[in-house]
Structure 1
């Protein structure tokens, strides 16, 4: 719960700084088409009907909100928003930006060791290696979506949906 609260506070601070310094994150699509509206509705429905909402109590609902809403917004604003746009301005080759952000995103998941170490008795190294591998796979998919759509909104939605099924 503390981690979720920290991420919410950091996301709010990040959005305030971004707004103050007029930093472009390519957050929303140029035009909110029917596809985006339908994707948003589907993501919301999936979140609402997730079985843990009905069987796991408030703790399960909190974890679902953390994993499928808070974390995707936080991570996507950083990786497919801020870092992506800054690297694209310097590198000028989107495929290189894709590779760098994908690797950074994978390595970022090593930072979750603090919360994982308390739940794993043995094999922490293997668990963390899988976190990096899964982060790499997520990063590859989300990066391709970012290239295709040119915005973070689509990656936030997809990241949230993937986390519903992959927590």
Structure 2
């Protein structure tokens, strides 16, 4: 039986991993943005590229790692037999919800298209791979109490949103919108706590990261 002290050691490991991942994202985005004009479209493009590059890097590094990825999860296997019907149904709901919301959208431009790609495809894949797959598996390998894993991942996911303060502050700077960065960060943390709690329950009950990705995408369409 693992002691609480040992629990803390593994959770600290995860915090360090998250710090490195977030730092890598910020540096990558900063380098890319330095090559372009500082505007809203380029902010979205560089943010999307930095998330995509990190996702690919995580998959390449951890694809055969038994501690982080014992099931050898691959996005291309999303529609295999396990939970296939649920995934297809959720996929249809995501597409229909997206189409309905876009019907009421007043403007269509490259920025809005890039923002949608980022929010409903890139970020859900990146965050669910990171939190509900790799880090969840890592903690589960060392901590047998599923509630400890659930609470740890949910809280870490909530506080991870603070790391996106660079994107939020730059967005406010470019758009000159009223409001405070801290208010947006706080709102994002509240949404992340709700979403993380729901997805954590889904992960426990269905043990399916693909469903978490689809639900994450649906949540983003409805609430972002």
Q: Structure 1 runs of 4+ off > 4 angstroms? A: 25-30
1:11 aligns with 2:55: yes
Pick which of 1-10 and 18-27 moved more.
Answer: 18-27
2:220 paired residue number: 163
Q: Does 86-95 or 12-21 show the bigger shift?
A: 12-21
Contact 1:25–1:82, Cα closer than 8 Å, also in 2: no
1:80 matched residue in structure 2: 132
1:124, CA displacement in angstroms? 2.1
In the TM superposition, residue 126 of structure 1 has moved relative to its aligned partner by 2.3
Q: CA deviation at 1:53?
A: 6.8
TM-fit CA distance, 1:166? 1.1
Distance (whole Å) between structure 1 residues aligned to residue 58 and residue 143 of structure 2 = 24
| Residues 1:131 and 2:177 are matched in the alignment | no
Contact map agreement 2:63 2:72 (CA 8 A) in 1: no
Q: Describe the SS at the equivalent of 1:55.
A: coil
Cα RMSD for the two superposed structures: 2.2
Q: 1:12, 1:131 → 2: CA distance?
A: 25
Describe the shift of the 1:64–1:105 C-alpha distance in structure 2 as closer, same or farther (beyond 3 A). Answer: same
Q: State the Cα distance separating 1:48 from its structure 2 match.
A: 4.2
- Conservation of the 8 A alpha-carbon contact between 1:26 and 1:150: no
Question: Which residue in 1 is equivalent to 2:91?
Answer: 40
Equivalent residues of 1:26, 1:152 under 8 A apart = no
How far 1:121 moved relative to its partner? 4.8
- Distance in 2 between the 1:63 and 1:31 partners? 31
Match of 2:20 in 1: none
Query: C-alpha distance in 2, partners of 1:163/1:131?
Result: 11
CA distance in 1, matches of 2:141, 2:151: 15
* Residues 90, 30 of structure 1: alpha-carbon distance in 2 compared, 3 angstrom cutoff: farther
For the residues of structure 2 that align with 1:30 and 1:80, how far apart are their CA atoms? 20
Residues 25, 81 of structure 1: 8 Å contact kept: no
Q: TM-score with structure 2 length normalisation?
A: 0.68
Larger Rg: 2
Question: Cα distance, 1:20 vs. partner?
Answer: 4.3
Query: With CA pairs under 8 Å and 6+ residues apart, which has the higher RCO, 1 or 2?
Result: 1
Question: Whole-Å Cα distance in 2 between the matches of residues 112 and 38 of structure 1?
Answer: 31
Q: Is the 8 A contact 1:76 1:156 kept in 2?
A: yes
Q: How far apart are residue 67 of structure 1 and its match?
A: 0.4
Structure 1 residues without counterparts, runs of 5 or longer: none
